[in-house]
A and B are shown apart, each in its own frame.
Chain A
């Protein structure tokens, strides 16, 4: 590997897609991290992360071991009609790119400006990664990048080539 970066394909996370008015969601989903103050921002609470990823749309991420707890807490089947909560844990494959050259590896596949002045620690955004729609957020010493699960092998293929 010629870039000083570590590439890890992460186990799946517990993921819940939340849609609807923020007031209604925060009233129903009481245990989530605080709702971020603006779009493309995220907040943390314990191991959970709440990402504001679109108009009236958030993504809750936590370790998979907490999925059942969240399912019980969010109770998607019983949620009011004016909000939507859908478990989407398996839909995303996460890659973690860390190390001194993590930004350089990201720049090969990602069109987004990830400079710290523009994309700070609390930033999150959908963007493009090797041609696929991808969610990018920062992690310690690097970035987490999620793509639709079925593209996981292809993205791994790309990353192997990029770091060859």
Chain B
């Protein structure tokens, strides 16, 4: 039974009854209701408990400003801490209150009210310090009672992000926004009109005003219809502009797109111009016990009466300091609510306001100083502002209106400045920083006529302004009252965080006198509502206490999001397998089909780590793959290696500058290993350069640094040698390669079939040749990362899978095995080959690695040369690359520290890698050790939690130090 539903009127659809459950009890509402309006229609007034003191709370607002009643939605709507006023009612909705247990009617946490005087603002900071705040945090959070995040993802559907662009983005489809859209749309501009409500109209939805002599909503319907017909106008309802970033980049959260599988959509809009027509928010008044259920914003009551046909009370008192409440009073009276009195803090009430309620008792120059009641207001106490006789007035509803604040949140996010307006007693937009404008109530144009005019002008943007329709509205006038001095009982400034006037006074007494500090000390203005109804009262309270004008106190910073946005909407479709980027080579499907254990191994490439056979563990598989390479032959996919083609007259000069060694002397058909340094003389990367012809080169970089080295080269070219004739083309994905390595590699190559002479005499180590392999156009390069005879067969990716499969087929008689990154790692450690991220970890130069031979003495200059020289002139102790043999034989974790004697002293180095060597049948490693080059034969000590491990220092090359095998 909807006991407080009016017999007629409203914008609800009474033919569509909706069943819902709140705190376990079944109720009914209508299509078009919010959960808040439906609860009020059902006579539910006690809807929540407060955050800290667990005081009884009811519904205060009608929109995003709601400070008191947060709900947790259950089932398929699962989400936490939703303002009850922003939840559209739907069939089967299940919701419950937050901040209470077991129910709002009987809440165990209400015991906090007994200790309220002992737990003021800052109580937590002062009390829960020892031994650590985090020890107490979980239980305090639990006691606070806010709803947790849903534990399960929605059963169906997904979130979406999309990008959009427009000439004019209008935030808010109230009278100003609609007029602006008309003006800009008719002028042919690309317009996006975004509105947070379920339907357009803004404040007109809630008020009984006329435009051109007809109900204002008729004009809204006609306007929306005209805009709908414009292909250059996009209208979004139930969508909030929640963030305003640099360069007019605007975030929009569309909550229920008309799309069967999209839960929410987040728009990222780049707008040439942004119009903030976000309306205004009524502020509350501050007096004793101003938080009881039944104390509501006057504008909210107007919305419930006019839009939802709901009577939030039977006998009301109105407490105001401005004209707008008189229009509300008229609507309430028309809805059959008995208005006991209007309490106006102003000594003189304007005639225009009085005319709205001609027979109504008005107590001008009076204030409400306290309310009475338990779970619902039963009476209010009033007295003259200047003191005098008090009076108690019975009521079950108190409408409060403390004046209006332009909703400047978006404007402020755009970094536009605010200025305090004495006449309006509020902050309003002042100077824009981006291409933004403000119109309507958001600009302080608080009458309908002003809103229509300013909207039209803003939309026209200096062009033709459409005709402004005639309208009626009360003139706005206000006299500020930031708090009632005679208040009895707790006077709340921020109801969501239970912040009272006393809390702000305490913060000021303790020295937190900047308004931003007051906010952080008291938490006033934080939370879901971000202080939309109470922030300015906090500023006013600070101003009074400090004896300053409001503009000197200033505002706190407005930050995104304007209203809560779900993480899902921000993330969009980027979840699951696409949470992080990934790259594949053309044989990924083959790898997966053949049981490869795949993982990301640099630059987002997903590569096979190893190929376990049935019953094989990690180490067994890696050992088998290593033996295949050392004894027979192995094959791996080396495609991800960064590869660049360089062309131009000055490439050789450029490479001489880029690498530490000389490249310009290289003959076509030959390759050379080289090191590249950063400008501070540290190893940035290494790789091989191939000279194709006089002016054409191919160079390789490590997989993980390919993009960085590309940028490095371009930067050098564009900043230091802009006159060089050098073109760089990335060909990493044009040249994939199958690398065949091992003593039987040449036999496999011959079995594949090639006309290229691959004998060591014709194609020696560090040479290459173009031709065909297995009938596929290919470039064979004699380089080796494993220390064995290797043929890197480079082909176009379109041919990679065919070559790979043929290699395994013809290689089978030779015992060929596919090998993964893990075996490659073992083989290169045995050879003492460096790996970026292991041995090259940042502060390492070529001498540290024993690669001083690569530092050319002949070149006048190259990148990083001077920095190396400067550093080595001033440093005696360097960490140098050595081999380590753990004694006793065991694995040492990568990164394990080396300390003198294994004692608790400053480290003298660390182990960069430690692998099981199948050729030595024991663990071997590499390390960076202080003065390591002169300490071969010494025993050093690895310090681990479980104990100290001695390790013998050796040269870094554990296998084939003369390099005979790779040159074979």
Contact = CB atoms under 8 A, between A and B. Distances in A.
Given A113-B270, A158-B573, A151 B581 contact: yes
Contacts of A75: none
Contacts of A120: none
B583 A162 contact: no
B645 interface: yes
Contact of B725 (A81, A91, A112, A117): A81
14 contacts: A81-B694, A82-B725, A86-B729, A91-B731, A91-B733, A104-B162, A113-B165, A115-B190, A117-B190, A150-B733, A151-B581, A153-B582, A161-B576, A164-B158
B690 to A, nearest CB: 14
A107 interface: yes
A151 B583 contact: yes
Given A81-B725, A108-B573, A111-B163, A150 B578 contact: no
B796 A89 contact: yes
Interface string B225-267: 0000000000000000000000000000000000111100000
Given A82-B725, A87-B734, A107 B260 contact: no
A90 B725 contact: no
Chain A CB within 10 A, most for which of B162, B577, B647, B797: B647
A88 interface: yes
Given A2-B261, A115-B190, A130-B578, 14 more contacts: A77-B692, A84-B645, A86-B647, A86-B731, A89-B796, A91-B734, A107-B162, A108-B162, A131-B581, A132-B581, A148-B583, A148-B733, A150-B733, A157-B577
Interface string A120-164: 000000000011100000000000000011111110011001101
A161 B158 contact: yes
Contacts of B731: 86, 88, 91
A52 B679 CA distance: 34
Residues of A in contact with B, size category: 35 or more
Contacts of B577: 157
A111 B164 CA distance: 8
Given A81-B695, A88-B734, A158 B578 contact: yes
A162 B573 contact: yes
B797 A149 contact: yes
A54 to B, nearest CB: 11
B584 interface: yes
Given A81-B725, A157-B578, A150 B693 contact: no
Interface string A76-106: 0101011110111111100000000000100
A81 B729 contact: no
Contacts of B623: none
Contacts of B736: 90
Contacts of A131: 581
B160 interface: yes
A33 interface: no
Interface of B: 158, 160-165, 190, 259-262, 268, 270, 572-573, 576-578, 581-585, 588, 605, 640, 645, 647-649, 692-696, 725, 727, 729-734, 736, 796-798
A164 B160 contact: no
Interface of A: 2, 12, 17, 19-20, 77, 79, 81-84, 86-92, 104, 107-108, 110-113, 115, 117-118, 130-132, 148-154, 157-158, 161-162, 164
Given A108-B161, A131-B581, A84 B797 contact: no
A91 B649 contact: no
Contacts of B573: 108, 158, 161-162
Contacts of B797: 90, 149
B163 A154 contact: no
A110 B163 CA distance: 7
A19 to B, nearest CB: 4
Most chain A CB neighbours (cut-off 10 Å) among B260, B573, B585, B736: B573
Contacts of A118: 165
Nearest to B575: A161
B844 to A, nearest CB: 29
B649 A90 contact: no
Contacts of B647: 19, 79, 81, 83-84, 86
A-B pairs with the 9 shortest C-beta distances? A84-B727, A150-B583, A113-B165, A84-B647, A91-B733, A149-B733, A90-B797, A19-B727, A86-B729
A136 to B, nearest CB: 12
Given A81-B648, A107-B162, A110-B163, A152 B734 contact: no
A17 B728 CA distance: 10
A128 to B, nearest CB: 9
Given A2-B260, A104-B162, A108-B161, A90 B588 contact: no
A152 B584 contact: yes
B23 to A, nearest CB: 36
Given A82-B649, A150-B605, A88 B695 contact: no
Contacts of B649: 81-82
A12 B190 contact: no
Nearest to B188: A117
A154 B578 contact: yes
Given A88-B731, A90-B798, A91-B734, A82 B648 contact: yes
A132 B707 CA distance: 13
Contacts of A87: 734
Nearest to A152: B584
A7 to B, nearest CB: 14
Given A2-B259, A111-B163, A86 B645 contact: yes
